[in-house]
C-alpha cells in the first residue's frame, strides 16, 4: 500500500563479521532485530507521526539488541569500560542534540533527543551528560549492563595481539560498528539519528563521528538525511554527512550518485571501510558500503520491508 512519501532506512554498522564466524541462527536474529527496528519507526510514520520520533524509535530497538555496537552490546575501551555516543537531528528546523562518552544511560539516543528538546546545547559530554539524562527521567543502568561476552573476547584478542607484537590486521567488525536511522514523514520532513559504542580497544575519552553533527549525522528538509558508519576520525576530517548534503544541494547530484561517490571514492581513498544510510527529499533510502557487509534495512514508499547483513537482500514483504 502506497502512503504519502513516507520511508525509513537504517544501518547496524559496516563492521559486519564474516558469515562463518557466527551461526545462521545469530544472523537470522540480527535480521529480525533490524526488522523490529524498522517496524518501530514505520508505525510512527504510518500514523502520521514525526520523522524525528521514527528514527529515535528505530535506534532504541538497535541499542537494546546485543547484535549491534550501541547500547547493550557496545564496544569496550582500552580500559575495558564503555563510553557511548549518540546524536539526532531534525531536518525541519536543523535542530540537533548529541551526547558523547556517557556511561550510564540505557539508551543514549534518548539523551541526545533530550538535549535537542532542551534547546540549550547541541552536544553534552561525560558525567555531566549522564547527570542531565538522569535529571530528565531517562532510564539509567550500571555500566556492566552494556557488556556482552563477544565484546570482552574481542578486547582480549586485540590486546593480546598488541602485547605479543603479532601483526594481524583487525577486521572491520573488530574495529568499529554503529547504528543509525533516517526517515521521511507524511509532511515531507527528514530526520536522522546515530548511536555507537565506538571501536574495540579505543583510547579512553576518544570521540568519533557519531555524535558530531555534520560528520556522522545530518538532516535537512528538501535535501537529505544521513547516518554514517566507519572509522570516525576520517568522517570527522571529511565532514562526511554534511558533504553528502552539499553534493546534493550545491553540486546538483542525485542522492544515489552522491552517496556512491562519497563511500567508494572520497572515503575509500583513505583506505577505510565506510558505509551510510541516506534518504532524500523523495524516493527510497540508499545504503552503500565498501566492506564485506553492512547490517541494513529499509521500508520503501510502497511499504515493502527488506533487511540484509551481507550482499544478498532478504525481502520480508509488507511492513
Indicate which residues carry an active-site annotation.
178
Burial 190-223 (b: 16+ CB within 10 A, else e): bbbbbbbbbbbbbeeebbbbbbbbbbbbbbbbeb
Pair 242, 225: CB distance under 8 Å: no
Give the residue carrying C-alpha cell 555531566.
Answer: 128
Paired sense of beta strands 123-125 and 95-102, if any: parallel
User: Residue 84, exposed/middle/buried by CB under 10 A (0-12, 13-18, 19+)?
Assistant: buried
Pair 4, 38: CB distance under 8 Å: no
Pair 182, 277: CB distance under 8 Å: yes
Any alpha helices (H) in 14-170, and if so which ranges?
24-46, 51-63, 108-118, 126-135, 149-164
Amino acid at each position: 500500500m502506497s502512503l504519502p512519501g513516507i520511508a525509513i532506512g537504517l544501518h547496524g554498522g559496516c563492521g559486519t563479521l564474516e558469515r562463518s564466524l557466527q551461526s545462521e541462527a545469530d544472523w537470522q536474529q540480527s535480521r529480525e532485530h533490524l526488522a523490529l527496528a524498522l517496524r518501530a519507526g514505520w508505525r510512527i510514520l504510518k500514523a502520521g507521526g514525526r520523522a524525528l520520533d521514527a528514527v529515535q524509535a528505530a535506534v532504541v530497538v538497535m541499542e537494546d539488541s546485543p547484535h549491534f555496537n550501541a547500547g547493550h552490546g557496545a564496544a569496550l575501551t582500552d580500559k575495558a569500560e564503555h563510553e557511548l555516543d549518540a546524536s539526532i537531528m531534525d531536518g525541519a528546523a536543523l535542530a540537533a542534540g548529541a551526547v558523547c562518552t556517557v556511561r550510564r544511560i540505557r539508551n543514549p539516543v534518548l539523551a541526545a533527543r533530550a538535549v535537542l528538546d532542551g534547546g540549550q546545547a547541541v552536544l553534552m559530554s561525560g558525567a555531566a551528560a549522564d547527570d542531565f539524562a538522569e535529571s530528565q527521567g531517562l532510564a539509567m543502568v550500571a555500566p556492566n549492563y552494556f557488556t556482552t561476552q563477544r565484546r570482552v573476547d574481542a578486547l582480549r584478542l586485540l590486546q593480546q595481539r598488541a602485547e605479543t607484537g603479532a601483526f594481524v590486521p583487525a577486521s572491520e567488525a573488530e574495529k568499529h560498528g554503529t547504528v543509525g536511522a533516517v526517515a521521511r514523514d507524511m509532511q515531507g520532513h527528514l530526520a536522522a539519528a546515530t548511536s555507537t559504542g565506538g571501536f574495540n580497544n579505543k583510547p579512553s575519552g576518544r570521540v568519533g563521528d557519531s555524535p558530531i553533527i555534520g560528520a556522522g549525522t545530518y538532516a535537512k528538509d528538501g535535501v537529505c538525511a544521513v547516518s554514517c558508519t566507519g572509522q570516525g576520525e576520517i568522517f570527522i576530517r571529511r565532514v562526511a554527512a554534511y558533504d553528502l548534503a552539499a553534493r546534493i544541494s550545491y553540486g546538483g547530484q542525485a542522492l544515489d550518485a552522491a552517496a556512491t561517490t562519497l563511500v567508494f571514492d572520497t572515503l575509500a581513498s583513505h583506505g577505510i571501510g565506510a558505509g551510510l544510510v541516506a534518504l532524500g527529499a523523495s524516493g527510497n533510502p540508499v545504503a552503500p558500503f565498501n566492506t564485506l557487509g553492512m547490517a541494513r534495512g529499509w521500508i520503501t514508499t510502497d511499504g515493502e520491508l527488506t533487511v540484509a547483513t551481507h550482499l544478498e537482500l532478504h525481502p520480508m514483504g509488507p511492513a
